[in-house]
Amino acid sequence: MKRKRIKKRYRIIIEDAYTLRVLKQWRFSPHLIFLAFILIIVLWTALLWSLITYTPVRYWVLGYDEVELREKLVSLNQEVDSLIYATQACYVYVEKLRQVLTGHVDTIDINTITAKGEKIIADVMGDLPSGLGNEVVPSFIPPVDGFITNTFNVESRHFGIDIATREGNTIVAVEDGIVIFSDWTLNTGYVIAIAHENGWISVYKHNKVVLKEQGDIVKAGEPIALAGATGLLTKGTHLHFELWFDGSPVDPMQVILF
| Residues 163, 211 within the same domain | yes
| Residues 47, 87 within the same domain | no
Q: Tell me whether residue 46 is in a domain.
A: yes
- Predicted structure pTM score: 0.55
- The listed range with the strongest mean pLDDT (4-13, 30-39, 68-77) is 30-39
Structural domain total, the chain: 3
Confidence of residue 128 (pLDDT cuts 50, 70, 90): very low
Q: What single-letter amino acid sits at 194?
A: I
Output the domain CATH number for residue 197.
Answer: 2.70.70.10
At 93 the pLDDT is: 66
Q: What single-letter amino acid sits at 61?
A: V
- Cα–Cα distance, 208 to 193 (Å, whole number): 15
| Residues 158, 226 within the same domain | yes
- Cα–Cα distance, 193 to 257 (Å, whole number): 20
Q: For the segment 147-200, what is each residue's pLDDT rounded down to a tens digit?
A: 999 999 888 888 899 999 999 999 999 999 999 889 898 888 999 999 888 888
Which helix (H) or strand (E) is 82 found in, with range? helix 66-102
- Domain housing 236: 138-254
| Residues 196, 98 within the same domain | no
Measured CA angle at 204 (ends 198, 215), to 5 deg: 60
Q: For the segment 95-122, what is each residue's pLDDT rounded down to a tens digit?
A: 666 666 666 554 444 344 333 433 433 3
| Residues 250, 158 within the same domain | yes
| Residues 90, 175 within the same domain | no
Q: Tell me whether residue 204 is in a domain.
A: yes
